[in-house]
Amino acid sequence: MIRNCRITENKAYERAPGVTVLFDSKTTLINCIIDNTHASRAFQGGGFPNIGAEGALTALPGSDVLLVNCTITDNTGGFEVCFSEASRVINSIIREHFDGVDLKISHSNIMGPTDGVGNINADPLFVNPSVGDFRLRVHSPCIDSGTTVDLGVDITGSSRPVDVIGVGRDGPGAYDMGAYEFQLPLGDLDSNGRIDSRDLFLFRRQWMIQSESD
C-alpha cells in the first residue's frame, strides 16, 4: 500500500516512469499524486513487446490496482493500465489519456468517456498546477462529487470529508475527488466555501452570545 505520497518528475528512457505494478501483484494507492513523469518510449519485455506501458502508472498483466482519492496529471505518456481487469479507480482525478481493459472507474474526473457511476470530464480547477499545487479551487467540480470511502484525512492530514453546503453531495458522504480535500476558510460560518456578507451577518447575530454551559 502506498499512502499520502507524491511521485513527481520521474524520467525514464527504457521503462515506465511513475509507478510500475508488475505481474500478478496487488497495489493500493491512497491520497497519492503522480505528476510530471516522462518516458521516451514504451516498455518492452516480459514476453509482451511494446505494450505501450509508458505512462504515469502501468499495471501489467495479472496485476490488481486500487486507486482511492489520487491525482494523476501533467505526465507524458498518459495513464496506462494493460491487461488488468481487476483494477479499480475511486474518487480520483486522472487528467491523462489512458487505456485499460475493463477498468472499473467510479466517482472520478477523467479525460475521455465517462462510463461508470458518478464520473465526470471537466477541468478540476487546480489552485496552481504550473507550480505543482493541485489543491481544488472553490468552484471546482470535484468538490463533494466523490463517494463514501473509509478515509478520514487527505494527503496533508487535513480532515476529510468536508461538506461545502449546496455543492455536489451533502452530508457525511461529501468526499472530494483527488488527493486534496477542499478545506473551508476559517471565517466561512455558513460552510458554503466562501467568506461573504452572510458570514458577517451570522457573526454579528452570534456576537457575545454565551453558550448554555457558560
Rounded CA separation 208/200 (Å): 14
Confidence of residue 61 (pLDDT cuts 50, 70, 90): low
Rounded CA separation 46/23 (Å): 9
Whole-angstrom CA distances from 103 to 12, 74, 100, 113 are: 25, 21, 5, 12
End-to-end CA distance of the chain: 47
Average pLDDT over residues 97-116: 79
Q: Dump pLDDT digits (tens) for 120-170.
A: 999 999 989 989 999 998 889 999 999 999 999 999 998 999 888 777 787
Position with higher pLDDT, 114 vs 132:
132
The sign of the torsion formed by the CA atoms of 175, 176, 181, 182 equals negative
25-37: b or e for each residue (b if 16 or more CB lie within 10 Å)? eebebbbbbbbbb
Confidence of residue 29 (pLDDT cuts 50, 70, 90): very high
Q: What angle do CA 61, 63, 68 make, to 5 degrees?
A: 135
pLDDT of residue 126: 96
Q: Is residue 91 a contact partner of residue 69, using CB atoms and an 8 Å limit?
A: yes
Pairing of strands 2-3, 19-21: unpaired
**Residue 106 φ/ψ, nearest 5 degrees:** -145, 150
Q: Is residue 149 a contact partner of residue 69, using CB atoms and an 8 Å limit?
A: yes
Side chain identity at 118, as an amino acid letter? G
